[in-house]
Amino acid sequence: MPTDAVPLARLLVTCPDQPGIVAAVSGFLRNHGANITALDQHSTDPVGGTFFLRAEFTTPDLDLAAEALEAAFARVVATPFAMDWRIDYQARRKRMALMVSKFDHALLELLWLWRRGELDADIPLVVSNHDTLRDEVERFGVAYHHVPVTRETKAEAEAETVRLFTEAGVDVVVLARYMQILSPALVSRYAGRIINIHHSFLPAFIGADPYRQAFERGVKVIGATAHYVTEDLDEGPIIEQGVARASHRDSISDLKRTGQSLERDVLARAVRWHLEARVLVHENKTVVFA
């Protein structure tokens, strides 16, 4: 069987740094029939720092079912090393909801990658506060739900969105240029699982219309930022960023065109890394094993 066809699992670990962590993890996996195909690690400081680890391993020859394996890992490895950890199984594909308003570029990029089999997830639905992109989305065979939002109906709209997500068993939410601020309750419900693309190189030009802000400042570099959503607007942990040169000759339209290309690429990378369990959040920063 080709290597890329063998079912995999991914272990993510955060814990206080101390000797023996890698040996304990690799020894445990070996003893239970796993073959480690990738292992990455990082420490903020070898003395008194925080240690991060990502291990990818094959699952067909494991001698324990997933639940028993995790219980054994907790007892033998995680508890002694005070680990915050999880195992993601490739066989348990995440269910990802996309949210969008009127701009289609980031949304269509994700749908195209998904149709090509390049995103390790299922996309059961798209939710939008406009009905503009229904035909585009339905061509991919994905359900499109128009949930209008006004200042007066925002709470009801979010309740309907949560209902749709719950019925679809959504694990991950991607804001592919969804131009509404989510409530703290919704953010908390999917904490660490909502990814947004911001059309700026954060922390510069937060909020609305950053391309106009960039044009008025005469910037020479523009960017895009993918980050996890928190209750603080545009201040969540950054997953990925991209930049491109700008010129005094560029109009606002030129900056938007270049920026939208960046947005597509940056968001796609961030989503892929999240789905492949390559991102660890620590405080308000990320460790990305890309």
Q: Which is it for strands 221-228 and 194-198: parallel, antiparallel or unpaired?
A: antiparallel
* Alpha-carbon separation of residue 238 from 10, 172, 245 (angstroms): 21, 16, 21
Q: What is the DSSP track for 40-57? A: EEEES-TTT-EEEEEEEE
Q: State the Cα–Cα distance between residues 263 and 269, nearest whole angstrom.
A: 10
Q: Which long-range CB contacts under 8 A does 164-167 form with residues at least 24 apart?
A: 164/97, 164/125, 164/127, 165/97, 165/190
**Which residues does 93 contact at the CB level (< 8 Å), separation at least 6?**
120, 121, 122
Tell me the residue length of the chain.
Answer: 290
Per-residue DSSP letter, 122: E
Whether 234 is catalytic: yes
Q: Whole-angstrom Cα distance, residue 172 to residue 119?
A: 13
Report CA-CA distances (Å) from 279 to 43, 184, 238: 15, 23, 10
Which of 84, 131, 135, 234 is the catalytic position?
Answer: 234
CA 191 to the chain's CA centroid: 11
User: Which residues carry out catalysis?
Assistant: 234
